[in-house]
Structure 1
Amino acid sequence: MKKIIGISALIATSFSTFASEVNVYSYRQAFLVEPLFNEFTKQTGVKVNVVFAKKGMAERLEREGEHSPADVLLTTDISRLIELQEKSLLQPVNSAVLEQAIPSQFQADDNTWFGLTTRVRNIYSAKRLGNVDINYEDLADVKYKGKICTRSGKHPYNVALVSSMIAEHGEAKTLEWLKGVKANLARKPQGNDRGQVQAIHQGLCDVSLGNSYYFGKMINNDKQKVWADGVNINFPNQANRGAHVNISGVGVAKYAPNKSSAIALIEFLASEQAQQMYAETNMEYPVRAGVKKSELVASWGEFKSDALPLETIAKHRKTALKLLDQAQFDL
């Protein structure tokens, strides 16, 4: 078995092959990643320059072309990684460090992107319902008629979930499921994940879809804690394929001027130290095995996750958008 190379080995490498800086385009917020970048700079001497954005990364890279200064591309979910991959805006990375640190389920087959943290697409339920053993498929059951809240079906987090349903059940059954869920909605899809938990608190619905880390964010928010206190966080499909998970991820830009430093930064982000810092800050699950979860996240309990590779799921993204239109889900 190959020995996993840690950050200590990275430090031991001759930095003559590294540039003095590395440029990052990030969809992740500053408070999440700046502590990681600062630690990387402290250990290696490589300065990290960051451009933060909420959208438009692919478009910017296409405009900049081979003159782009971007080295590392940091994204919030699988859909945005696949967009960069499909537009040939990433380059392959051959790294034994990443191959061994990150499960193959969360890597691109062509080595153009790698997952860094995972999150579950949970189903939240009103506290008064008690513990709920639920599957995603159950959301189309008539017993939930008028009781479901969700954000737009076309948001990347929901598109990924629909894509996983297509991978599991095929197009026809997934379309039927979408129509069933739409018929059970308490209101037109709107807002964000936290807004759906607020709606449960307000008595507008009984169940909602939401990423796991939002539960932690609400618990730690003085104004939103009351919303979180009124729901249970449920891990769906525990008796069968497991809960759907998504990732935050990273890749090296196609024309990265500082490729060696870019790879060094990504390898650091996959290290045990960085994985621990990353997971603690954003209340996500470390992608690297053996890294301890935050105390709050661990308190939600263990769960079984869907083992299907995310790249396989993401291949159904365009079909998922087509089915959402056919179901008129957001109308």
Structure 2
Amino acid sequence: MKKFVLALLTLSTFNVLAAADETVNIYSFRQSFLIDPILEKFTAETGIKTKVVFAKKGLIERIKREGKYSPADVVLTSNFSKLLQLQDEGLTSEIVSEEIEKNVPAHFRDDNGQWIALTKRVRNIYASKDRVADAKALTYEALAAPEFKGKVCTRSGKHPYNLGLIASMIAHKGEAEAQTWLQGVKANLARKPQGNDRGQVKAIKEGLCDVSLGNSYYYGKMLENAEQKPWADAVNIVYPNQNDRGAHINVSGAVITKYAPNKANALKLLTFLSSVKAQQTYASLNMEYPVNPQVKPSATVLSWGDFKEDALSLTKVAEYREAALKLVDKVKFDL
């Protein structure tokens, strides 16, 4: 009888473990409409089921509270800042995969394998079609030029998108020159930093300013929105610094968690997300640039034209994120 009970317990344990092996648990900052179609393809191709917890904030704090008992295998982030926070908090494990290395260029992977990028977005300048001549020649540096006095709009300098740009300026120019530039941009602001990227384009349409900073994919989203299309129609989308280092790139990405209970499946998921098939879906659903160089952007995004991107490693940019935050406070950019 004891042997029979032991056999049943062993079989039950095996079944539980087998079920766990066919699952990957995801904590996602990325919205369901974007990742669900991709995850469905992943399950269809691999047989591995996905369980997703979505939240705009609080997921990193949740993983910390859960500790080694956290069910999270993978975290999908909507920006580079969250990737760095996960790494800095010691919540990641090394991603080792030759296939991922083929799919994701080195400057879009952590040097120590703690995170990978999955999509790219440009930190563009949006310029009024009616009031800004020769917009294609614009640079980030030009936002601090006297000609744009009282004509610049932007969201908070502490937002991850702007912090990444400021960090890249420090990396390229040094902290002293970056500070001078940021002070110049502040002096040119038409209003106190506020709102989101689309709100800045609306302000250009309304004549409150002539130029603004904004991520590339918002342009496509505005074109598809009946209310916001007039905002997009009022501006040119500009890829800055095309005659020198190129336009600054920010990313969404992913990590495998430190205590992931299904690490093998987590690695399979990240491999799939960086594959041609998944990258094509990313490109079509959210008008982002695929990180996999084998995949072209969507037809809409391609219509905006080719551009040169800043090839500076994101690991290098990350080194200056803290300095960028201090610089925003030092020049009182948001005040």
TM-score greater than 0.5 by the shorter chain: yes
1:101 aligns with 2:103: yes
Over the matched positions of the two proteins, sequence identity in percent amounts to: 57
1:287 aligns with 2:291: yes
Distance in 2 separating the partners of 1:49 and 1:181: 44
How far did residue 290 of structure 1 move? Answer: 2.1
How many matched pairs?
A: 316
Structure 2 residue aligned with 1:147: 151
Q: CA 1:18 to 1:286, structure 2 compared with 1: closer, same or farther past 3 Å?
A: farther
Distance in 1 separating the partners of 2:207 and 2:45: 51
Distance in 2 separating the partners of 1:114 and 1:57: 18
1:111 aligns with 2:113: yes
- What is the correspondence of 1:256-271 to structure 2 with a 5 Å cutoff? 256-271=260-275
How far did residue 79 of structure 1 move? Answer: 1.2
Contact 1:167 1:313 in 2 (8 A): yes
Structure 1 residue aligned with 2:314: 310
- What is the correspondence of 1:1-331 to structure 2 with a 5 Å cutoff? 19-128=21-130, 129-132=132-135, 133-331=137-335
Q: CA 1:17 to 1:169, structure 2 compared with 1: closer, same or farther past 3 Å?
A: farther
Q: Which runs of 5+ in 1 are unaligned?
A: 1-15
Q: Secondary structure at the match of 2:168?
A: helix
Distance in 1 separating the partners of 2:271 and 2:187: 46
Q: Secondary structure at the match of 2:21?
A: coil
Distance in 2 separating the partners of 1:47 and 1:31: 17
How far did residue 17 of structure 1 move? Answer: 11
Contact 1:18 1:260 in 2 (8 A): no
Q: Secondary structure at the match of 2:306?
A: coil
Runs of 4 or more, structure 1, over 4 Å off, are: none
Deviation per CA, 1:224-255: give whole Å up to 9, x if none. 00100000000000000000001110110110
Q: Secondary structure at the match of 2:212?
A: strand
Q: Which stretch shows the higher mean deviation, 123-132 or 202-211?
A: 123-132
Distance in 1 separating the partners of 2:168 and 2:261: 36
Distance in 1 separating the partners of 2:118 and 2:38: 12
Q: Secondary structure at the match of 1:158?
A: helix
The residue type equivalent to 1:219 in the other structure is: L
State the TM-score, normalizing by the size of structure 2: 0.93
Q: Which runs of 5+ in 2 are unaligned?
A: 1-17
How far did residue 18 of structure 1 move? Answer: 7.8
How far did residue 60 of structure 1 move? Answer: 1.1
